[in-house]
Amino acid sequence: MSIGGNIEYINGLKAEAAARSGRKGEDILLVAVTKLHSTDEINEAIACGITDIGENKVQEIMDKYDRVDPVRWHLIGHLQTNKVKYIIDKVSMIHSVDSMKLAAEINKRAKQHDLVMDILIQVNSAMEESKFGITTEETGKMIEEILETCPNIRIKGLMCIAPFEENPEDARVYFAEVKKLYDEYGKMEHPHLDFQYLSMGMSGDFHVAIEEGSNLIRVGTSIFGARDYSKKQGE
């Protein structure tokens, strides 16, 4: 199936899952994950209606940025503090904030560019050692610290990467846990807190994530096909 056909198919599945949770397909933002995919493939996806793309690595954003048609860029992978300066004026949202050190650097660089950066806090609800993210218990404290010390950051919600499970149903409990946090902290009132996005779900489990309340899914393989890891980044 073509990239356009894949997007149409995913949007259909997205709408079905949304209906099961009492919502509409358009209530869920589809972010196309473009890691290791070419700018030609990305531009084809944009031509087929993709409005938002997600990259895991700063270097790929740098390599591709000027060759991709107008689109909203998301940094969805682990972000090192020493690389924030390269993408602070290029991305619309950073999904993977998991430490005060990183938040402070984002705040510093955003201030230098006279902007307020939208972020999501990454929660590791399964407490997997192989994944980044803070624990569910640490979430409230980090939100409060960012609001107190980082005026050039706007907290837009939470992000979660569930463990890979052969049966996507096994990930449901981890999504449900982060949705509870989202509902709890989303009630806070602060000019720099505006919970709009619960970023949960990838190609293998996004239908379960949507059923559990996700309104932003990150899908790559199901749009572009399997990645070729022999390619250089940005090709």
Residue 52: strand pairing partners: 31, 72
Residues 6+ apart with CB under 8 A from 233: 36, 57, 59, 60, 63
Could you tell me if 98 and 122 are in contact, meaning their C-beta atoms sit under 8 angstroms apart? yes
In sequence order, what DSSP letters do the residues of 92-117 get, joined into one string? SEEEEE--HHHHHHHHHHHHHTT--E
| Run of H or E residues at 54 | strand 52-55
Domain range 3-223, CATH architecture: Alpha-Beta Barrel (3.20)
Nearest to 119 by CA among 141, 138, 140, 102: 102
What are the backbone angles phi and psi of residue 31, rounded to the nearest 5°? -100, 120
Q: What is the pTM of this model?
A: 0.93
Ranges of each domain in the chain = 3-223
Q: Between vectors from CA 89 to CA 153 and to CA 116, what angle results, nearest 5°? A: 20
The Cα–Cα gap between 103 and 142 comes to 9
pLDDT tens across the length of the chain (235 residues): 899 999 999 999 999 999 999 999 999 999 999 999 999 999 999 999 999 999 999 999 999 999 999 999 999 999 999 999 999 999 999 999 999 999 999 999 999 999 999 999 999 876 656 567 898 899 999 999 999 999 999 999 999 988 777 788 999 999 999 999 999 999 999 999 999 999 999 999 999 999 999 999 999 999 998 877 765 544 4
Could you tell me if 139 and 127 are in contact, meaning their C-beta atoms sit under 8 angstroms apart? no
The pLDDT value given to residue 107: 98
The Cα–Cα gap between 217 and 204 comes to 11
The pLDDT value given to residue 228: 73
